[in-house]
Amino acid sequence: MNKKRNALGRGLSAILRNPETDITSNKEISSATTVANTSEILIDNIQINPFQPRKEFNKENLYQLSESIRNLGIIQPITVRKLGYDKYQLISGERRLRASKLLKIKSIPAYIRIAKDQQMLEMALVENIQRQELNPIEIALSFKRLIKECNLTQEACGERLGKNRSTITNFLRLLKLPIEIQDGLQRKKITIGHARALINLDDDQKKINIFYDIIANDFSVREVEQIVKDFSDINYKRSSKIKKTITTEPLPFTYQKMLHDISTNLETEVLFNRNKKGNGKIIIPFENDKDLEGILKKFKLKN
């Protein structure tokens, strides 16, 4: 009977058993070492990467990937680092690993690297950022973590990632936004252009009010920039509860601003209906006589 071929490849078994290349040893590793061969390693022996900047994985996409792996196998091996003999920690390829687990696959092809925590963090961040799989907030948090945990300046961080310092700075500024806006950016309710326009405001509540109006009224980035300019020194009252026009066409920005101004001045919601021909009506609802009296006073119709 033929001897079973060593799946680890020539010389790889010796490297993995060498305590000098064990990440758990006390010896310093001057630089990350890559073992060129790919190896089939047991999935149960792989720990998830604690430095993974990506926190959410689309379930539907994972199922689609698992079907692709079922039909074609894993085309691109994952990358892991050695923790000890037969113990590994994932560096990149978590989607492939998760999809393989869905198929209950026992082993997976992998490149094995020898790296310290800082090197692993850098590799994980670079892997994800360069693939452009992260949303803007995840990228910003990755930059922040790389700077803090690897003791880098913004300029050095940019050099590691092949990006300008201004790019690093602009992403980090996103983390100064209120949490509601950061969440909206992650969920693609607004674009990074909207978020960058809101950063220029000093008042967080004003940012939040405009944020909800962006979602409700589908403001463009240019329109938000104009709103920020117009309301930089004055209060902005949220008007996102206002019902949209019945026309299928977007309400022009001039009307949206007019509607907001009316609602703000009257301190109540104002409903606005307008058809394609330009005909329509403005409705000012009230809950009781006291509300009505307050509205009439605004119009100077009641003493």
Residue 56's CATH number: 3.90.1530.10
Residue in this structure with the two tokens 């944020």, named with its chain if needed: 211
Examine residue 143 and state whether it is found in any structural domain, yes or no. no
pTM: 0.52
Q: Is the pLDDT of residue 27 over 70?
A: no
pLDDT at 24 (0 to 100): 42
Give the integer Cα–Cα distance in Å for 248 and 252. Answer: 12
Q: Is the residue at 75 inside a domain?
A: yes
> Mean pLDDT lowest for which of 127-136, 220-229, 241-250?
241-250
79 is a domain residue: yes
| 190 occurs within a structural domain | no
- Helix (H) / strand (E) containing 144: helix 136-149
- Give whole-number Cα distances, 80 to 45, 121, 282, in Å: 11, 12, 63
Share of the chain above pLDDT 90, in %: 26
Give domain status of residue 122, yes or no.
Answer: no
Domain boundary pick from 115, 132, 164: 115
Q: Which of 59, 80, 115 is the last residue of a domain?
A: 115
Instruction: Give the domain extent around 32.
Output: 12-115
How far is it, in rounded angstroms, from Cα 24 to Cα 1? 39
Angle at 286 between CA 283 and CA 291, to 5 degrees: 135
Of 88, 115, 142, the position where a domain reaches its end is 115
C-alpha torsion 272→276→279→282, nearest 10 = 0
Q: Give the pLDDT score at 219.
A: 92
Q: Which of 241, 230, 289 is nearest to 263 (CA)?
A: 241
Residue 80 lies in a domain: yes
Q: How many domains does the chain have?
A: 2
Position 253 pLDDT exceeds 90? no
Residues designated catalytic: 94
pLDDT grade, residue 244 (50/70/90)?
Answer: very low
284 belongs to a structural domain: yes
Give the pLDDT of residue 195: 96
Higher pLDDT, 38 or 77: 77
Exposed (0-12), middle (13-18) or buried (19+): which is 280, by Cβ within 10 Å? middle
- Give dist(CA 219, CA 252) in Å, integer: 10
Whether the predicted pLDDT of 67 surpasses 70: yes
Q: Report yes or no on 7 lying in a domain.
A: no
Residue 71 has pLDDT above 70, yes or no: yes
Confidence band of 46 (pLDDT split at 50, 70, 90): very high
What are the pLDDT digits (tens) for 193-221?
999 999 999 999 999 999 999 998 889 99
Q: Which of 13-22, 188-197, 236-245 is predicted least confidently?
A: 13-22
pLDDT (average), residues 272-292: 74
